[in-house]
Amino acid sequence: MIAMGCTEPAAAALSGAKACALLGLPVERLAVRASRDMVKNAMGVGLPNCSMRGIQAAVALGAAGGDVTKGLGILSEISEEQQSRAIRLATEGKVSLALADDVPPVYISVTAYGGEHSCEAVISGEHSRFAYLRRDDDVLLSLVLASKDERPQHDDITSDMIANLSLAEIVHAADSIDPEEFLFVLQGAHTNLAIAEHAMDAEYGLRVGKTMGMDIPEPPSTIGDAYALGAALAAAASDARMAGCPLPVVINSGSGNQGITVSVPVLIMARFLDTDEDHLIRALCISHLVALVLTAKKDRLSALCGAFTAAIGTACALAYLQGGNVEAMDRAVNNMVGNLTGIICDGAKGTCALKIYSSVEAAAISCRLALAGVSPRDESGIVGKDALQSFSYLTQISHEGMEQTDRTILAIMMGKQEQCNL
C-alpha cells in the first residue's frame, strides 16, 4: 500500500474527509477523538504540501476538501484553497481534540457539525479501515471495535497466522513463491528508493541520510560501503518523509518508515552483489514478512520503535542475500535483540531518520556477525534460544514493559505542546 506522508496524519485526514463527505454541508466545527498513539505519531511530523503539523491540522486538511477515494494518498494533492480553509479551521479553534481511552492503538473518530446535522467517521484497527459511520441518528456502518489489546474481527485469522510464523516457515514461503506474482514487492522497493535518492539531492529535516552518505562511493566499492549506503539512503528517505515530502512511500505494517527500512537497504545490497531479480524478490519478501510478524505480536503502534523491529527483517534479508541459511538468520535476529531492544517510539518526527540509520547499521552488524557464526546465547538478558522465543520476549516487553513508558512519552509531548501554546 502506498501512503503520502506519515500514515497517522493521512488516516486523520481520511477520517476528516469522510465525516465531511457524509455531512454534505459547510462544516462549522470538528470534534476529534484519537488514541494516544495516533496523537503521538502525528504531533511532530510534517504534512505534505502544507506548513501545519499535528492531528488537528491533518483532520482539517481532510475536512477542507480531501478526496476519500485516494485512501492514504489523500494528502498528495492539496490546493491553496484547501490549505487556506484548513488553516482557518485549525487556527480559529474549530477543531477540538480529546484522547480516547480503551480503544485500539490505531483509532481516530471525527465528528463533523454543520447546520442541524452531525456526522461521524471512525477509523480503527488499520489506518484506512472505516469501522463506524453515522449521519445524525442513522448508523451507516458498524464493525466490531476491538478493545485496546484486541484486533478487529475481520483481521483475526490473518493476524494469528502471521504472528505465529516461524523464521523457517517464512524462508520456506519465500523460497516457494513465483517471483512473477510478487513483482509489486520489488516495485515498492524502487518507489522507496526514489524518495531516498531525491532526499540526497535536497535539504530535508536533520539531513541524516545526506550527511552520513556524503563520503560513501556510489556505486559502493566494498560490502562495507554497501551496508553503509543502505543505512544512509533509508535515513534520507525518512528525512524527506517526516518533513512532508509529497513523494509516495510503500508501507509495511501501516508505516512508511518501516516500509523504507525493510526495502531500501536490501535493494542496495542486492545491487552490490549483482543479485538476480528472483532472489532479490524472495529476500524482500523475507524482510517484509519478519517485520509483519513482529508488528502482529507488538501492535501497529506501541512504545517500541518500529524502525528497530523492521530492521530485524532487514538483517534477515541481508543474510539471505549473502547465502545465509535459517540458522544464520536466527543468529541475526538474536544479535538485533541483544543490541538495540528498548528504542522508544516518541512519535513520528525528524529524529525517526536517526533511529532508522542506527537500526539499519545494527542490522549490518547483526548480519555480519551471524554470517561469521556469532550470536549471543540464551542466557544473555532477553535473548531467546531462537528467533521465535526472542520474538515472544519482544512481545512481552512491548505489551507489559512499555505500557507506562508510552503514557509517559505522551505526557511529556503533550506538556511541551501546552507550553508552546501559552
271 has a pLDDT exceeding 70? yes
Peptide bond into 219 cis (omega under 30): yes
| Sheet order of strands, 29-34 included | 95-99, 29-34, 107-114, 117-124, 130-135, 138-142
pTM of the model: 0.84
What's the pLDDT band for 156 if we cut at 50, 70, 90?
very low
> How does the average pLDDT of the chain come out, rounded?
90
- Of 57-61, 149-153, 265-269, 331-335, the least confident: 149-153
pLDDT of residue 155: 44
pLDDT of residue 105: 85
> What residue has cell string 544473555?
380
Rounded-to-integer distance, Cα 108 and Cα 15, Å? 7
Rounded-to-integer distance, Cα 74 and Cα 56, Å? 15
Share of the chain above pLDDT 90, in %: 63
pLDDT of residue 149: 45
CA gyration radius, the chain: 21
Q: Which residues contact 169 (CB under 8 A, 6 or more apart)?
A: none
pLDDT of residue 407: 83
Distances (CA, A) of 20 to 24, 68, 285, 357, 360: 6, 10, 38, 39, 41
CB 40 within 8 A of CB 4: no
353 has a pLDDT exceeding 90? yes
Please name every residue paired with 201 in a beta bridge, in sequence order, or none if there are none: none
> What residue has cell string 532487514?
314
243 has a pLDDT exceeding 80? yes
> What residue has cell string 519478519?
290
Q: Does 234 or 52 have the greater pLDDT score? A: 234
Q: Which residues contact 165 (CB under 8 A, 6 or more apart)?
A: 173, 289, 293
Give the burial string for 54-88 (b: 16+ CB within 10 Å, else e). bbbbbbbbbbbbbebebbbbbbbebeeebbebbbe
pLDDT of residue 348: 84
- Of 87-101, 337-351, 406-420, the least confident: 406-420
151 has a pLDDT exceeding 50? no
pLDDT tens, 158-184? 566 787 899 999 999 999 999 999 999
Q: 348 by DSSP, 3-state: which? A: coil
Q: Which residues contact 212 (CB under 8 A, 6 or more apart)?
A: 228, 231, 232, 235, 357
CB 348 within 8 A of CB 6: yes
What's the pLDDT band for 152 if we cut at 50, 70, 90?
very low
Please name every residue paired with 34 in a beta bridge, in sequence order, or none if there are none: 99, 108
Rounded-to-integer distance, Cα 389 and Cα 405, Å? 23
All structural domains of the chain: 2-142 (3.30.1330), 164-411 (1.10.4100)
CB 369 within 8 A of CB 335: yes
Rounded-to-integer distance, Cα 381 and Cα 363, Å? 19
pLDDT of residue 154: 39
Q: Cell digits for 10?
A: 493521512
pLDDT tens, 180-189? 999 999 999 9
Stretch 274-295: mean pLDDT, rounded?
96
194 has a pLDDT exceeding 50? yes
pLDDT of residue 301: 66
114 burial type by CB count under 10 A (0-12 exposed, 13-18 middle, 19+ buried): middle
Stretch 11-31: mean pLDDT, rounded?
94
Rounded-to-integer distance, Cα 108 and Cα 120, Å? 10
Stretch 386-392: mean pLDDT, rounded?
91
Compute how many other C-beta atoms are within 10 angstroms of the C-beta atom of residue 322: 17
pLDDT of residue 246: 84
Stretch 320-347: mean pLDDT, rounded?
95
pLDDT of residue 5: 65
pLDDT tens, 45-104? 777 767 777 888 899 999 998 889 989 888 877 788 888 888 888 888 899 999 898 898
